[in-house]
Chains A and B, each alone.
Chain A
Amino acid sequence: MQTPAHAGRLITPAMVGVALVLLTVPLWIAKVGLYQYIGVEILIWAIYALGFNLLLGTAGLPSFGHGAFFGIGAYAFGLTQFHVAANLWVCLLGGILAASLAGALVAGFVARRRGIYFAFLTIAFGQVFWFIAMKARNVTGGEDGLLPIARLPADFGIVSFDLTGNTALYFFVLALFLVTVVALWRLTYSPFGRVLSAIRQSELRAAHLGYQVVLFKMLAFIASAAFAGLAGSLFAMAQGGAFPEVMALHYSGYIVMMVLVGGGLVSFWGPVIGVVVFLLARDLLGAVTLTWMLWFGLLFVAVILFKPEGIAGVFQDLRRRFSRQPAQAQPAARSTP
Chain B
Amino acid sequence: MFTLIPFLINGLTLGLLFALIALGFMLIVGVMEQINLAHGSLFALGAYVAYALLGPPLPLPVGVGEWWAGLPLGLRYVLALVIAPCIVGLLGILIEQGMRRTYGKDPLFGLLLTFGAAMVIEDVIRSVWGTRDYILPTPDAISGGFIALNLIWSTYRFFAAFAAAVFILLTWLLIERTRFGAVIKAGAHDSEMVRALGYDLAKLRIAVFAIGTMLAAAAGVIMAPIWGIRPHMGVDAVIPAFLIIVLGGVGSFWGAVIAGLMVGMVIGLTAAYASEWSLLSMYILLIVVVTFRSRGLFGKKSILEA
Residues of A in contact with B (beta carbons under 8 Å apart): 62, 109, 112-117, 119-121, 123-125, 127-128, 131-132, 135, 248-250, 253, 256-257, 260, 290-294, 296-298, 300-301, 304-305, 308
Contacts and interface: CB of A to CB of B under 8 A. Distances in A.
Contact of A135 (B115, B124, B126, B276): B276
A114 B290 CA distance: 13
Interface in B187-218: none
Listed residue (A116, A132, A248) with the most chain B CB atoms within 10 angstroms of its CB: A116
A184 B264 CA distance: 44
Nearest to A300: B116
B287 A253 contact: no
A114 B305 CA distance: 6
B234 to A, nearest CB: 10
Interface stretch (B78-86, B100-108, B149-157, B176-184): B100-108
Given A124-B283, A250-B235, A119 B123 contact: no
B280 A297 contact: no
Contacts of A296: 119
A309 to B, nearest CB: 12
A304 B290 contact: no
Given A116-B35, A297-B119, A301-B120, A260 B112 contact: yes
Contacts of A253: 115, 119
Given A249-B235, A304-B113, A308-B109, A112 B306 contact: no
Contact of B279 (A62, A112, A131): A131
Nearest to B98: A305
A301 B277 CA distance: 36
B54 to A, nearest CB: 25
Contacts of B126: 290-291
A294 B127 CA distance: 10
Nearest to B99: A305
Contacts of B294: 112-113, 117
Contact of A124 (B102, B106, B243, B305): B243
Contacts of B123: 291-294, 297
B239 A127 contact: yes
Nearest to B291: A109
Contacts of A121: 246, 287, 290
A120 B101 contact: no
A291 B125 CA distance: 10
Interface residues of B, number: 41
For the complex of A and B, the 8 pairs showing the least CB-CB separation, nearest first, are A297-B119, A294-B123, A297-B120, A301-B116, A300-B116, A116-B304, A291-B127, A291-B123
Nearest to B296: A117
A64 to B, nearest CB: 8
A298 B120 contact: yes
Contacts of A116: 35, 107-108, 111, 304-305
Nearest to A303: B116
20 contacts: A109-B287, A115-B107, A115-B108, A116-B111, A117-B290, A117-B294, A117-B304, A123-B239, A127-B239, A131-B283, A135-B276, A257-B115, A291-B124, A291-B127, A294-B119, A294-B123, A300-B115, A300-B119, A304-B102, A305-B102
A228 B101 CA distance: 33
B43 interface: no
Nearest to A131: B280
Given A291-B126, A294-B120, A301-B116, A128 B280 contact: yes
A301 B291 contact: no
A31 to B, nearest CB: 32
Contacts of A114: 305-306
Interface string B279-301: 11001101100110010000000
Listed residue (B109, B123, B286) with the most chain A CB atoms within 10 angstroms of its CB: B123
Contacts of A293: 119-120, 122-123
Listed residue (B35, B124, B286) with the most chain A CB atoms within 10 angstroms of its CB: B286
Contacts of A115: 106-108, 304-306
B127 A290 contact: yes
Interface string B25-55: 0000000000100000000000000000000
A324 B101 CA distance: 30
A124 B244 CA distance: 11
A300 B121 CA distance: 13
Interface in B223-273: 235, 239, 242-243, 246
Contacts of A124: 243, 246, 283, 286-287
B117 interface: yes
A250 B122 CA distance: 11
A297 B117 contact: yes
Contacts of B112: 256, 260, 300, 304
A123 B242 contact: yes
Nearest to A121: B290
Contacts of A300: 112, 115-116, 119
Nearest to A290: B127
Contacts of B246: 117, 120-121, 124
Contacts of B242: 120, 123
B304 A132 contact: no
Nearest to B302: A116
Given A121-B287, A123-B239, A297-B117, 12 more contacts: A62-B108, A109-B291, A117-B305, A120-B246, A124-B243, A249-B235, A249-B239, A250-B235, A257-B119, A293-B123, A304-B113, A305-B102
